[in-house]
Structure 1
Amino acid sequence: MTPGPASAFRPWWRPHLRQGDLVVYHVDLTPANGSESAALAWLDESENERRRRYLGDLPKRQFALCRAALRILLVRRLDCPNRSLRFEEGRRGKPFALIGDERCGFSFNVSHSGDHGMIAIAPGGRLGVDVEVRRERKAIDQLIEILLTEAERRQMEQMDSDRRISRFYDLWTAKEALVKANGLGHAIDVSRLNLVDSVGRSGETRCFHDRDVLGGRWEISNLGTAVFAASLARELPPAP
């Protein structure tokens, strides 16, 4: 794991959102960008072994490009050698970074879907990001019944088919981002998270106050485009 300097190649990521000290990056996962060979040089032995275990070119590419981009971004922020940076997972699988044996002070989260990845990084605090390529799904009606609250479903009844599908993806990624921020995985029943008034249009950030499922106060940012839905969830300090 002896990569060249980060300036020696063209980055395959770019800032997608800046909120003060938090940055969300979009990661280009298309095979045509030619970045995979540069990315592989940044992975350690265990990460390269993990990549080899994935079946198919797309999962291999998604992991390599997202993990290498995360490494480069953290190395720059922490001003540390790449070889000193390693990752561990919490009890429910949420990764965190260490420099040597010391846990680093930055929070991060990663998501990918198709040719699109998202990486969120901030100095501390709980956050989660999720991205899903917008596409028609045969079972979307069943997903709506399973994943959404009654209020969310009622809201969507007034929409035409295209807007309904778009709204579903916006709500779904917001719920997934909240779940990932909490690091609780499938222990959370997302059909109990009522985001009917907490997910705005693309580029909009709204607050979500929750007492029943997650607790606390959260910001939910809609990062979506016409091609993909994406959401950022970030925990807010307790109200004074």
Structure 2
Amino acid sequence: MIAVVTSWNSPPQDLTLDLGEIHVWRVSLAQTESCLQSLQQTLSADERTKAARFVFPKGRSQFIVSRGALRAILSRYLNINSHILRFDYNPYGKPSLIFAQGGDTLRFNLSHSGNMALIAIAKNRDIGVDIEGINPNFPCLEIAEKFFSPLEHSVLLSLPEHLQPRAFFTCWTRKEAYIKAVGKGLSLPLNQFDVSLAPGEPPALLNIEENPEEASRWSLMELIPSSDMVAAVAIAGDCPKLHCWQWTWEF
């Protein structure tokens, strides 16, 4: 699928999610103190414990907003109060709703970078999302040599220097989105599969070394959350219809 330069719209009041849709929510992690306090009250005891472990207030606030917004968004689809939502975690730490609250149907994934988070939601299909800020001073070639596949590293080297940072983070988000969709964490080595990354090249999972046929089971989509950020969504099956919503805290 070609890159999607998205517009982030306000969701309708009668929000629904069809089988052939993906919804991606953009969340600002810089919220007011009153919003922060309200969201914190919706968190579970273990989430509050995790929040308290953050040394710096900014990290603590961002965790509270991202988890609180996730709860608020999921509650809209399920018509369940956000504070009673409960999550299970697979052996690699990927969260899902408990079975009784739709965990067998509603799938989601969350990623954040800087002051922004993305939450991707689908029905009956595994999904992953990743967002990264483009840092022009990041040692892209050095990191790519260690963690990217030989093909990806070669493509990155072939690009003009001024295009390499965006291409690097484009590649990184696509790889992370796929790993998060599969739900196996870094037990799936980053250099064992290939994704597209060259400017203008459609997002795609090109090859998986252990199982070449597996690549055709997945679709990648590119999102542009802001001018200095890139993001990607990976989903099992064909690319469905994509809606991008802007989350705002409601009293």
- Name the TM-score class by shorter chain: 0.7 to 0.9
Unaligned runs of 5+ in 2: 1-8, 12-16, 239-251
Paired residue secondary structure (1:22): strand
Does the CA-based 8 Å contact 2:128-2:179 persist in structure 1? yes
Distance 1:211 1:99 in 2: 31
Distance, in Å, in 2 between the alignment partners of 1:220 and 1:80 is: 31
Counterpart position of 2:243: none
State the partner residue of 1:180. Answer: 180
Which position in structure 1 is the counterpart of 2:50? 50
* CA shift in 2, pair 1:135/1:97, >3 Å: same
**TM-score using structure 2 length:** 0.77
Partner of 1:133: 133
User: Which residue in 2 is equivalent to 1:6?
Assistant: none
Residues in 2 aligned to 1:160 and 1:209: alpha-carbon distance in whole angstroms: 22
CA drift at 1:190? 1.1
**1:3 alignment partner in structure 2:** none
> In 1, Cα distance between the equivalents of 2:10 and 2:130?
16
Q: CA deviation at 1:44?
A: 2.2
Q: How far off is 1:92 after superposition?
A: 1.0
Q: Provide the residue aligned with 2:246 in structure 1.
A: none
Q: How does 1:51-200 map to 2 (within 5 A)?
A: 51-98=51-98, 103-196=103-196
Worse-superposed segment, 173-182 or 220-229: 220-229
> Does the 8 A contact of 1:85 with 1:99 survive in 2?
no
Residues 85-127 of structure 1: CA deviation (Å, up to 9, x unaligned): 1112111111111265773521000011111111001112111
Distance in 2 separating the partners of 1:32 and 1:83: 20
Secondary structure at 2:135 match in 1: coil
Q: Tell me the CA shift for residue 193 of structure 1.
A: 1.5
Code of the residue aligned with 1:148 in structure 2: it is F
Residue 55 of structure 1 and its aligned partner are, at CA, apart by: 1.8
Work out the CA distance in 1 between the residues paired with 2:56 and 2:47. 16
- Counterpart CA distance in 1 for 2:147 and 2:181 is 18
Q: Which residue of 2 aligns with 1:212?
A: 209
Q: Which has the higher contact order (CA 8 A, sep 6+)?
A: 2
Change (3 A) 1:102 1:149: closer
Once residues 149 and 116 of structure 1 are traced to their aligned partners in structure 2, the CA distance between those partners, rounded to angstroms, is 28
Q: Indicate the residue corresponding to 2:229 in structure 1.
A: 228
C-alpha distance in 2 between matches for 1:200 and 1:139: 19
- Structure 2 counterpart of 1:114, one-letter code: G
Give the equivalent residue in structure 1 for 2:6.
none
Q: For 2:101 and 2:228, how far apart are their aligned partners in 1?
A: 40
Aligned residue pairs total 220
